[in-house]
Amino acid sequence: MKVLVPVKRVLDYNVKPRVKADGSGVDLANVKMSMNPFDEIAVEEAIRLKEKGTVTEIVAVSIGEAKAQETLRTALAMGADRAILVTAEDKVEPLGVAKILAKIVEEEQPSLVILGKQAIDDDNNQTGQMLAGLLGWGQATFASKIELTADAARVTREVDGGLETDSYKLPAIVTTDLRLNEPRYASLPNIMKAKSKPLAQKTAADFGVDVTPRIKTLKVTEPAKRQAGIKVADVDELVNKLKSMGIAK
């Protein structure tokens, strides 16, 4: 069974984002970039399924600038077998990403596509659902547990009311949530081995996909700074403060 795992290069989650002076976007110059945490969980899950013997090959895919090779090498070091980089210097929106992935799926014929439920840079939570729609495949979003058989996936999903377990015929799309697993660290020997693993490079034009942006960012601003709190001596003073603010009656 072949599994396709799309991964995205994003601003590292430990780095505090800074807005550009002109308000055109987030400043990514000279800052640490890494694999989207939800995608890292997807890679880890694919590796665990391979270790169980239900998956035979893991193909990592990234769509973005040439520097995304670093992200793919991380996936290869973790345990992916080979990688595909689709270069695109401009930002590719979720629909464009889904269209490119659909073309790659047609070529690779995987039984399962596992990807993060969303990227932490834009928080769109759209690509997995759009890909399922384009392919006409079943989809399981927000997965917290995945069990595979030869022709089906049993997925436990996180929903508002708790947990929901469903069965999906393969091929299918699964998007991962935080509680699915804890990704491993790549060992030094595996990092060295990753340098020799296959990494194919293509462009969006190779797939005949138009990735022209359809959304225009008008302005990006930082959140308003929180004002300092007020200390009160006792409960009575607290109640009076709340009443004066119109919060309590």
User: Among 12-16, 82-86, 156-160, which range has the highest average pLDDT?
Assistant: 82-86
CA distance 166 to 147: 11
Residues 6+ apart with CB under 8 A from 228: none
**pLDDT for 28:** 81
Residue 34: inside a domain, yes or no?
yes
Residue 33: inside a domain, yes or no?
yes
**pLDDT tens digits for 163-206?**
999 999 999 999 999 989 999 988 899 999 999 999 999 998 89
Residue 232: inside a domain, yes or no?
yes
Q: Residue 91 belongs to a domain with what CATH number? A: 3.40.50.620
Residue 172: inside a domain, yes or no?
yes
Task: Identify the domain containing residue 79 by its residue range.
Answer: 2-244
To which residue do tokens 């596509």 refer?
A: 113
Residue 177: inside a domain, yes or no?
yes
φ and ψ at 109, to 5 degrees? 55, 55
Q: What percent of the chain has pLDDT over 90?
A: 59
Residue 249: inside a domain, yes or no?
no
Residues 6+ apart with CB under 8 A from 208: 103
Residues 6+ apart with CB under 8 A from 63: 6, 8, 85, 86, 88, 92, 96, 97, 100, 101, 204
**pLDDT tens digits for 45-55?**
999 999 999 99
Residue 126: inside a domain, yes or no?
yes
Per the structure, the count of domains in the chain is 1
Residue 100: inside a domain, yes or no?
yes
